[in-house]
Structure 1
Amino acid sequence: MHFLSAKAPYLRWAIIILLLRHTTLLCYSDPRISEAALICGKNRTSVSIIIPNFVKEMETISQSVTDKGWGSFSLINANISIYALAQCHNDLPRGDCLLCYAASRTRLPRCLPATSGRLFLDGCFLRYDAYNFFNETTDPRVDTRNCSSPEGGVGDEEAVNFAVNAGRLIDNLSGMAVVSGGFAVGNWKGVYGLAQCWKTVSREGCRECLAKASREVKGCLPNSRDGRALNAGCYLRYSAHNFIADPNRQADDGSSAVSKTGVKIIIALVVTAIFMISTFTAYTYRKKSLKRKEEGKNLGPILSSYNKSNLNFKYETLEKATKYFDPSMKLGQGGAGSVFKATLQRGKVVAVKRLFFNTRQWVDEFFNEVNLISGIEHKNLVKLLGCSIEGPESLLVYEFVPNKSLEHYLFEENKIKILTWKERFDIVVGIAEGIAFLHEGCSSRIIHRDIKSSNVLLDGNFAPKIADFGLARDFAADKTHLSTGIAGTLGYMAPEYLVKGQLTEKADVYSFGVLVLEIVSGRKNNAFVEDTGSLLQTVWKLYKTTQTTQVVDPLLEGVFPAHEASKAIQVGLLCCQASPGSRPSMSQVVDMLILENPHIPQPTQPPFINPSVLAAGNIKSAKTLMSDVLNKLDSSSYTTSSSSSTYQSSTRSQDFQHQ
C-alpha cells in the first residue's frame, strides 16, 4: 500500500490504460463489441466523489442487465446525482449481452471524472449523467453518426444501387421498430440493418429519434458501406456485412463457448479495474483528508472564535434547511460556489453559499467573507448572518434577497421587468452609499474590488444590496495604496490597478462609474454595439456633443427627467477618468447625486479599450493600451512598484487572477 501511495498518480493510470487496451483487443474478436462512439462531458467533479458512486451505479445495473438485458438506476445524495442506463440490442444472445455490457463498463470510466459520459458499442449502450435523461430522445449537442471508410473496388453504379437499397431498408426498419416495441432487424438486397430504441423512451419518442437517425445515417451514403446514427434515445445501423446476431443461439454451440471465454476474461479485467479504482479512491480520500487538516490549521484562529459565537451554524441544520442542497432550492452559481435558498426553524428564510474547495483560493475568500464583513451592517450591503466551518464543506449564511441580481434586469434578453428611471436612479444612489460606507464608514477602509451588476442584489422594494466580498481587501488609513495580485472583472477594473497592481479605493470608484453607465444605458460595457467601440467610448462621444439623453435605455421610451439623467451620466464619466486622482471619493459621489444643484466637475476623456480586446480576454493587449494612457498622466501621488505580468484564469467567470 505504501508503494501504491507513492506511485498512485502514475501507476493507477498505467494499469487502467493497460486494461482498456487488452479489453479493446479482445473486443475486436467480436464486431458487436467494437466502439462506435465514446462521448464524455466537459463538466468535471471531484474524483473521490464520483468514482465510488459510479461503481455503485454499475453494480446495481449489472443485475438488471443480467436478468433482462437492460437496466436504469438513479443515485441521488448530498454530494452528487447520477442517472445511468445500460441496454443491449435485442438480437444479442444473453452471453454476448453480458460480454458487451462488461466491455462498456470497463471503457466508460475513461470519461471520469467528467459528470457525464455515453458509450455506443455495436451491441449495447451505456450512459451516465447528472440529470434525468431517461425520456430524452435527441440531443443536438452530441447526437452524431459514424460512417466507415469507402470500401475499395466499388464502382459508381454499385455504390448508387447500394445507397438506394440501404435507404429503403433504413426507412422500413425505422417504421417497423416503432410498432414492434422499439426494435427491428432486417436485410434487403445485400444490405443489413438494425434499429434500436432505448427502453426508457416512449413510443412517440422512439419515432422522433429514429426519424432523425434515418436522416443522419443516410448522410453516410453513397460512399460508406457501413453507417451508424448514434442518438440520445436510439441507435440505427446499416452495413454490407451481416452483423445481426441470432438471439435464439443455443448455449452449447462453438460461438457461445467463445463468448463464455470472453465473458470470463472481461469479468476478470473488470474486477481488476474496480480494485485499482477502489485503491485510487482510498488514496485520493486520504490525500484530501490530509489537505483538509492543513487547511483547518489555516482556519484555526477563526474556528475557535466562531464556534463560540452566534455566527456559528451547524452544518446539519443548513443541510436540512436546503433540503440537502436540492437543485430546486438553488438560487444561482458562480465561480466561488453555489447559493441555495434555505428555510430555518420558525420559517426564517436565508441564503446559503456552498463554497468550492478545489484550490487554496477558497481559504482567502472564506476569511474575507467571514472576518471582514461579519460585523458590518448597512442597508445597502448584504448582511452576513454566520457560517459553518466544521462540516464536509464550508458554508456562508446571508440574509435572503428575493429579487435576484441587478444583472437580470439590465442584460437578460427576456427581462423579468423593466426598471423605471426612478428605480434605476435610486439603485445608483444606494450602491454609491454602500460603497461610501465601506470606504469611510468602517474602522478600516474596505475595497470591494468586484463592483458589477451581478454582485448587486435587489430586495423586495428593488433597493440595492452589494454582495460577494470574497475579493475584498482592507488597509489602514496611513497607507496610500496596496500592491496586490490583480483580481476582478475585465471592463470594470481601473487602469492603474490593471497595469501596476496598485489598489486604492479609487479602483471601486472606477468600477462604480462603469456600472452607472450600464444602469443608465441598459447595455454592457464590454458588449455594446459592433463597430462603435466600448460603452465608455460611445457615452463619451455623445456627452461631448451634448446628446447625453441618447445614452438612456430606449426601453424607458423617453420617460425620464433629462437633467437627472445628464447628472448621472456626468458622474459616471467623472468616476471613470484615467487618473485616479481626478476621480471623486464615493462620499462626494453621493453628494453629487442627491443634492439639488451640486457642483460636478467636467470629466476628462476616459481610457478606451476596444471591446474585442476585452471579449477575447487579451490581458497583455489591454495592459499595453492602459500603459500608454497612464504614461501620459501625472501619477506622482503613486509609488511605482514592480508587478508580475503573468496572468492566469480565475475561477470566476470573466475574472482573472494575478499570481
Structure 2
Amino acid sequence: MRKLDSSQKKQLKDATDNFDEDRVIGKGGQGTVYKGMLSDGKLVAVKRSSSLDENQWKEFINEVIILSHVNHRNVVKLIGCCLETKTLHLVYEFIPNGTLSDLIHSPNKEFRVTWEIRLRIASEVAGAIAYLHSSSSAPIYHRDIKSSNILLDHKYVAKVCDFGISRSISIDQTHVTTCVRGTFGYLDPQYFLSNQFSEKSDVYSFGVVLVEILTGQKPTRVTLDDATSLVMQFINITDNSALYEMLDPILLGSNHMIEDIMVVVNLAKRCLHSEGAVRPTMMQVAMELACLSKKIRANVAAASSEENISDPSIDFFSTITNIDESCSF
C-alpha cells in the first residue's frame, strides 16, 4: 500500500473520468466507490469521501491502518491512499463480480449458484475471518460481517472488505466496549445489549451470512404487517420438513448433498446461539467448512474425470494444521 502524491491524485481523476457518475459501482456510509482504469491499464476501485465528517475521516484512517497489517487472499487489497486533501481517497484492487449479496438475492439466470459454489465461498470467508482473529499481527474484529461486504472476483473467489469500523486489539483482550455499530439483522444480540463486542460477535454475524447462503433470503423482511427476522425463524425450526421449506430451492435439487447441507445448517445454528460463550470460534467454523469442502471435492473427483477445482481457503489451513488428519468423512 502506498501514499499517493499530487500527480497520482490527478491520475485518479483521469482514471475515473473526473469521478463521473457513470463510473459509480457502489455507495455507502463512508462515501462513493468508482471503477477506474490507470494509465497502465490496471483496473482499480476508488473510494471517495462524500464529506468532511469527523467520524468518516476516522473510519478512512482506521481502514488504512487495519489493511496495512493484513495479507490474505480472501481479504481485499488496499493499493494506495490519499488522506491529505479535503476529499479522502482509498484505492483498492478491482473486484468485478459484485457482492455475495448480489449473487444470492439478485441471481443471474445464466449462472446457477450451486451448493458447491456457496460452500466454497463460505469456507473462504470463514478462513479470512479466522485469520483476522488469530493469525494476523494483532487480532482484528471486523464488526460488520455481512453478505454485501463480501466481494467476488472474476473466479467468484471471496474477498472480505469494508474495515472502516474494524478494531485491532491486544492479544490479551477478550472484547472491546464501544457504541453499537454494524448492520441491523447481523448484530450479535449480546453486543446490542451490553455494548461489548467480542470475536464471538463476528461469529454471530457470519452465522447470519450462512443462513442467507442456505435460504437465499435476506436477514430482515419488512411487510405491511411487521418486520420478520430470518434468523429467529431459522433457529426456531425443529423439524426437517419446515427447514426444507426455508432452504433455497436450488439446493433441494442436489439430493445427494442434503446430508452436507444439514451439517452447515447445524453449524449456522451453533454460530447463532444466544450465548456467545457457547458459539464456536471462527477457527473451528473455518476448519469444519474446509473439511466439508474437501469432502465434496473428493466426491466430485470420484464421480467425474473432470479436473478438480482447487479451494483457496485450504491454503490458509495448511500453514497451521494437517487438514487430512483433522478431517474424517
Q: Same fold (TM over 0.5)?
A: yes
1:537 aligns with 2:232: yes
Partner deviation per Cα, 1:531-588 (whole Å, 9 max, x = no partner): 895212322343x213444332014452250011111111111001111100111010
Partner deviation per Cα, 1:125-154 (whole Å, 9 max, x = no partner): xxxxxxxxxxxxxxxxxxxxxxxxxxxxxx
> Residue 401 of structure 1 aligns to a residue in which SS?
coil
Change (3 A) 1:349 1:413: closer
AA aligned opposite 2:220: N
The match for 1:565 among 238, 257, 261 is 261
AA aligned opposite 1:553: D
Partner deviation per Cα, 1:66-121 (whole Å, 9 max, x = no partner): xxxxxxxxxxxxxxxxxxxxxxxxxxxxxxxxxxxxxxxxxxxxxxxxxxxxxxxx
AA aligned opposite 1:466: V
AA aligned opposite 1:522: G
* Contact 1:409 1:416 (8 Å CA) reproduced: no
* Contact 1:319 1:325 (8 Å CA) reproduced: yes
Distance, in Å, in 2 between the alignment partners of 1:404 and 1:505 is 27
Which structure: larger Rg?
1
Structure 1 position 372, deviation (Å): 1.2
Change (3 A) 1:418 1:527: farther
1:412 aligns with 2:106: yes
Match of residue 574 from structure 1: 270
Distance, in Å, in 2 between the alignment partners of 1:533 and 1:360 is 35
* Contact 2:127 2:283 (8 Å CA) reproduced: yes
With the length of structure 2 as denominator, give the TM-score of the two structures: 0.82
Partner deviation per Cα, 1:216-254 (whole Å, 9 max, x = no partner): xxxxxxxxxxxxxxxxxxxxxxxxxxxxxxxxxxxxxxx
Indicate the structure whose relative CO is greater, using CA pairs within 8 Å and at least 6 residues apart: 2
Distance, in Å, in 2 between the alignment partners of 1:372 and 1:430 is 20
> Residue 347 of structure 1 aligns to a residue in which SS?
coil
Change (3 A) 1:531 1:323: closer
Match of residue 154 from structure 2: 460
> Residue 2 of structure 2 aligns to a residue in which SS?
coil
Partner deviation per Cα, 1:569-628 (whole Å, 9 max, x = no partner): 111110011111001110100122222599xxxxxxxxxxxxxxxxxxxxxxxxxxxxxx
Distance, in Å, in 1 between the alignment partners of 2:293 and 2:152 is 28
Q: How does 1:378-457 map to 2 (within 5 A)?
A: 378-412=72-106, 417-457=111-151
* Contact 1:549 1:562 (8 Å CA) reproduced: no
* Contact 2:52 2:86 (8 Å CA) reproduced: no
Q: CA RMSD in A?
A: 2.3
Change (3 A) 1:584 1:566: same
With the length of structure 1 as denominator, give the TM-score of the two structures: 0.42
1:511 aligns with 2:205: yes
Match of residue 285 from structure 2: 589
> Residue 487 of structure 1 aligns to a residue in which SS?
coil
Match of residue 248 from structure 2: 553
Structure 1 position 379, deviation (Å): 1.2
Distance, in Å, in 2 between the alignment partners of 1:532 and 1:348 is 44
* Contact 2:2 2:81 (8 Å CA) reproduced: no
1:312 aligns with 2:8: no
Change (3 A) 1:596 1:487: closer
> Residue 393 of structure 1 aligns to a residue in which SS?
coil
Aligned residues: 289
* Contact 1:449 1:472 (8 Å CA) reproduced: yes
Change (3 A) 1:585 1:526: same
Distance, in Å, in 2 between the alignment partners of 1:528 and 1:582 is 30
Distance, in Å, in 1 between the alignment partners of 2:293 and 2:250 is 28
Distance, in Å, in 2 between the alignment partners of 1:516 and 1:528 is 20
> Residue 489 of structure 1 aligns to a residue in which SS?
coil
Distance, in Å, in 2 between the alignment partners of 1:597 and 1:348 is 33
Structure 2: which 5+ runs fail to align? 295-329
**Identity in percent:** 37
Match of residue 487 from structure 1: 181
* Contact 2:220 2:227 (8 Å CA) reproduced: no
AA aligned opposite 2:90: L
AA aligned opposite 2:2: N
Distance, in Å, in 1 between the alignment partners of 2:239 and 2:169 is 41
Structure 1: which 5+ runs fail to align? 1-308, 599-659
Distance, in Å, in 2 between the alignment partners of 1:363 and 1:339 is 16
